[in-house]
Amino acid sequence: MKISLTINGREVSADVEPRTLLVHFLREDQGLTGTHIGCETSYCGACTVLVDGKTVKSCTMFAVQADGASITTVEGLADNGQLHPVQEGFWERHGLQCGYCTPGMIMSAVGLLQEKQSPSEDEIRHAIEGNLCRCTGYHNIVRAIEYAAAKMRGEEPPPPDWEEEEVSV
Amino acid sequence: MYPRQFEYVAATSLDEAVSALAGAEFAKVMSGGMSLIPMMKLRLLSPDVVVDIGRIPGLDQITDAGDYVSIGALVRHAQTASAQNLPRALVDAASWTGDVQVRNRGTTCGAVAHADIAADQPAAILALGATMVARGPNGTREIPADDFFVDTMTSALQPDEILTEIRIPKVGGATAYDKLGRRGGHTDYAVAGAAAWVQKDNGTVTNCRVALTGVGTKPTLAHGVAEALIGTDGSEQAVKEAAERATEGVTVLEDLYGSEEYKAHLAKVYTRRALTQALAQL
Ligand SMILES: Cc1cc2nc3c(=O)[nH]c(=O)nc-3n(C[C@H](O)[C@H](O)[C@H](O)COP(=O)(O)OP(=O)(O)OC[C@H]3O[C@@H](n4cnc5c(N)ncnc54)[C@H](O)[C@@H]3O)c2cc1C
Ligand code: FES
Ligand code: FES
């Protein structure tokens, strides 16, 4: 079936089998391998992308459903080599270890910060309920999102935990 | 993980969707795809035709129709979760359905049509005494909530019918929903949960409906609870005694998340909590 959509601002037309999942279309057809496949059972969120501005698990949507839609993947966030504040937050606040969950986490964070400028820690944790991380224990991911939220409000981000904590031996 | 091949129909009107369903040997309606696609990927379900109703205009509204509030077939969980004009039990059930991504695509009507034994919104729909509006080749019919949930993942909808709307009656009183999620707190499907609707007049409970989820083969009304609570003052003691009858006449089943005994215990606990929260609003 013929589909036309916009991916990261670029117009794309393709002929896909109806059963092609959006994530496979993005990775295999479009070469956008930033979007990861973790579980393929709709639980881990590694495949999260924005479809018409809303976060969606791209392993749980057919590419044909995206006909006419506008899609943003992690590749579409940076602006002329300048990292998006959420990407910068993950970098600055050590929001990743292996990095497998990271593109999905970042897209969920972008989705959250579009809707809420100043989310509480609780709201951040609930907003990433659909994204699983096997490495970090989530703590630094939450800090990374707080960093990005501050940056996007034009404020100085809170200092990193490791500068705040008193180290006792 | 690819599903088996199927023919895809992107319906642009309900009429087109209904005739596509009627013309196929094994067709499935797709709204949000949050349950259909996972099942197709696991090949638990392999329809020949998928009729996508996601592009049909006019179905994505929550509208006040006077006696009732109408939830259209394409109203997403996220919309229901932030609605100002829907009862609290349903709003909370929607806001505790899945995660952000699931709530951005899954629909309230889809969750009700899917009728999972541990789903959230079906329990609320049942407690609220909603009416389902179905459209098929022979026109439109209304199905009361009490007749809608037939068995495990089986509703009263015929394979060629589309649930176009859910009507939530404006009957007053107060409502609440509470659950234990599989991932703790309110997260994920219910290990067990209860939705309650109560009405009081002059200090006496005059009406009550409690629906359970997660404990049996389908969302089920706890008739014994209602019977025990109506006529009382709705005190803590009265609620406690009524909740003891939560599983009366209900087939409690064990699953991966709990034994029969544990589920029966949770049914009472969540019945008590839902009733307490509802009564506190009166
Ligand atoms: C990760 C994850 C977590 C989840 N957690 C929860 C949870 O905590 N609680 C919970 O209750 N649910 C949960 N769900 C399920 C979710 O609520 C689904 O969105 C919902 O069950 C189906 O709605 P849908 O619109 O996506 O329907 P679809 O997936 O499109 O369809 C589901 C079924 O209903 C039928 N159907 C859909 N719409 C109609 C209609 N209008 N008329 C007739 N038939 C129709 C389809 O043919 C199909 O058989 C979860 C799902 C996922 C993927
Ligand atoms: S790969 Fe899509 S949710 Fe895990
Ligand atoms: S950083 Fe490894 S899974 Fe999250």
pLDDT digits (tens, 9 = 90+) for B241-269: 999 999 999 999 999 999 999 999 999 99
pLDDT at A164 (0 to 100): 67
pLDDT at A162 (0 to 100): 85
pLDDT at B58 (0 to 100): 97
Pick from B8, B98, B104: CB nearest A55: B104
Buried b (16+ CB within 10 A) or exposed e, B105-127: bbbbbbbbbbbbbbbbbbbbbbb
Domain-embedded: residue B48: yes
pLDDT digits (tens, 9 = 90+) for A96-134: 999 999 999 999 999 999 999 999 999 999 999 999 999
Same domain? B25 vs B119 = no
Closest Cα in chain B, distance from residue A169 (Å): 35
pLDDT over 70 at A165, yes or no: no
pLDDT at A59 (0 to 100): 98
Which residue, of B120, B150, B169, is where some domain finishes? B169
Distances (CA, A) of B180 to B2, B132, B251, B254, B274: 33, 27, 19, 15, 12
Same domain? B104 vs B149 = yes
Q: Do A60 and B33 touch (CB under 8 A)?
A: yes
* CATH code for residues A2-76: 3.10.20.30
Q: Where are the domains of chain A?
A: 2-76, 85-155
pLDDT at B23 (0 to 100): 87
Residue nearest to atom 23 of ligand 1 (CA): B110
Q: Do A18 and B104 touch (CB under 8 A)?
A: no
Residues of chain B with C-beta less than 8 angstroms from the C-beta of A61: 33, 37, 105
Total of domains in chain B: 3
Mean pLDDT of A1-24: 98
How far, in Å, from the CA of B131 to the mean position of ligand 2?
35
Integer Cα distance of B120 and B94 in angstroms = 7
Which residues, at least 6 apart from B220, have a Cβ–Cβ distance to it below 8 Å? B126, B149, B211, B212, B250
| Residues recorded for chain B | 282
Same domain? B95 vs B14 = no
Same domain? B37 vs B67 = no
**What ipTM describes this predicted complex?**
0.96
Task: With a cut of 50, list the residues of chain B below it in pLDDT.
Answer: none
Q: Range of B223's domain? A: 174-279
Residue B279 near residue B239 (C-beta atoms within 8 A):
yes
**CATH of residue B15:** 3.30.43.10
Q: Do A40 and B1 touch (CB under 8 A)?
A: yes
pLDDT digits (tens, 9 = 90+) for A72-89: 999 999 999 999 999 999
Residues of chain B with C-beta less than 8 angstroms from the C-beta of A42: 34, 37-38, 102
Residues of chain A with C-beta less than 8 angstroms from the C-beta of B186: none
Residue A9: is it exposed, middle or buried by C-beta count within 10 angstroms (0-12/13-18/19+)? exposed
Domain-embedded: residue B2: no
pLDDT at A169 (0 to 100): 61
pLDDT digits (tens, 9 = 90+) for A40-61: 999 999 999 999 999 999 999 9
pLDDT over 70 at A168, yes or no: no
Ligand 3: list residues with CB < 6 Å. A 96-102, 133-136
Q: Which ligand has its closest atom nearest to the C-alpha of A131?
A: 2
Closest to B100 (Cα-Cα) out of A138, A114, A167, A118 = A114
Integer Cα distance of B243 and A67 in angstroms = 50
pLDDT digits (tens, 9 = 90+) for B20-52: 999 899 999 999 999 999 999 999 999 999 999
A45 token code pair: 């969120």
B110 token code pair: 């889809």
**CATH of residue B90:** 3.30.465.10
Same domain? B29 vs B127 = no
Three-state DSSP at A113 gives helix
Same domain? B179 vs B275 = yes
Name residues 58-87 of chain A within 8 A of B (Cβ). 59-62, 64-65, 67
**CATH for A85-155 (1.10.490.130, 1.20.140.10, 3.90.1310.10, 1.10.150.120):** 1.10.150.120
Closest to B276 (Cα-Cα) out of B243, B231, B232, B230 = B243
Domain-embedded: residue B57: no
Same domain? B214 vs B275 = yes
